[in-house]
Amino acid sequence: MIFESENEILAGVILIKNTNKVFRYLSNFEAKILSYLMKKLFTLTFLFLIFTSCTGQTNYGNPEVDPLKIQGNFTNWWTYQSRNIMLSRDYIALDESSKEIPKKAFLNALTNENFIPIRLKSADSVYYYKLCKILPKSDTSIKATINQEAFDALKNYEMEGKPFPEFSFKDLEGNTVSNASMKGKIIVIKCWYIHCAACIKEFPEVNALVSKYKDRKDIVFISLAEDTPEQLKTFLARKPLSYSVIPNMKTYMNEKLELNAFPTHLILDKEGLIKKVVSNYESLEVALEKESKL
């Protein structure tokens, strides 16, 4: 039995219902061809289903990028992820069938399953993020990275809405900072330490943020640092930080706040509730802009 084309092979498969009988009458060579084509067809069908689930028409608009193309390699995906997706911001979360789901369920899926988030095009100012399946042959670093990013975002999200733990600290200038002294004010807290490269890198941006809100007497910027007063004074003489700096906060941040990633930024509302927890300056700027207008 000789097949002239792939189409003839596939046509033969369709006509014969029992696949085992087909293989019984094929030569080893023909059987290998048929097996290869069936696997190829399965792969193409799988990719098509992923593509249609991610790009199909929805009430929320189409994806702003091709979900398959950005998974071509880690660099492509990370460029998109870091520039366009902010898991800590406010957004409408959608599952892979475009059904609206709670943000916690969305972050859980990103943390524990095989998804990446894709932003959908929107005519309004609302952000829409949709779950999209990770391709089987994608770089494994994509899954590992989004799992970790989502884990951190989920942990931060679960802190929101809760009262900030009781505190009474002295900053490097000897000023007392406590729940009572901060009541009725929006508090912006930066958690960091001297040897955290990402913490230091954002100093110029957070200093600019302090300057932006310098006329708002109801917004206070304080930072919790792991390091000793002596270490901080030496370091800050070279790298100034416009926040009020509170030293020796390692135990407090580990045990009371249970932080496992730095930098971490928190915004407390005027009632002392944690309104937003984020991991970078870009997210902080967006969150503070919103909170400052309430």
pLDDT digits (tens, 9 = 90+) for 17-71: 444 544 455 556 555 665 665 565 555 554 454 455 565 545 678 999 999 999 9
Quote the pLDDT of residue 42.
52
Residue whose pair of structure tokens reads 């095009």 in the numeric block = 121
Quote the pLDDT of residue 37.
56
Full-model pTM: 0.76
pLDDT digits (tens, 9 = 90+) for 97-148: 999 999 999 999 999 999 999 999 988 889 999 999 999 999 999 999 999 9
- Average pLDDT of the chain to the nearest whole number: 86
Quote the pLDDT of residue 60.
77
* Alpha carbons 155 and 114: distance in angstroms, whole number: 19
Domains of the chain: 61-159 (no CATH), 162-292 (3.40.30.10)
Quote the pLDDT of residue 61.
86
pLDDT digits (tens, 9 = 90+) for 142-166: 999 999 999 999 999 999 999 999 8
| Pairing of β 244-246 and β 219-225 | parallel
Quote the pLDDT of residue 69.
93
DSSP readout, 86-155? Answer: -TTS--EEE-TTS-EE-HHHHHHHHHHSSEEEEEBP-SSS--EEEEEEPPTTS-HHHHHHHHHHHHHHHH
Question: pLDDT band for position 15 (50/70/90)?
Answer: very low
177 DSSP assignment: E
What's the average model confidence in pLDDT over 274-281? 94
What's the average model confidence in pLDDT over 196-209? 97
What's the average model confidence in pLDDT over 175-186? 90
* Alpha carbons 113 and 35: distance in angstroms, whole number: 30
Quote the pLDDT of residue 183.
87
Check pLDDT > 60 for residue 72.
yes
Q: How many CB atoms lie within 10 A of CB 68?
A: 16
Locate 157 and state its tokens. 């999200």
Quote the pLDDT of residue 97.
93
Quote the pLDDT of residue 176.
92
Quote the pLDDT of residue 255.
93
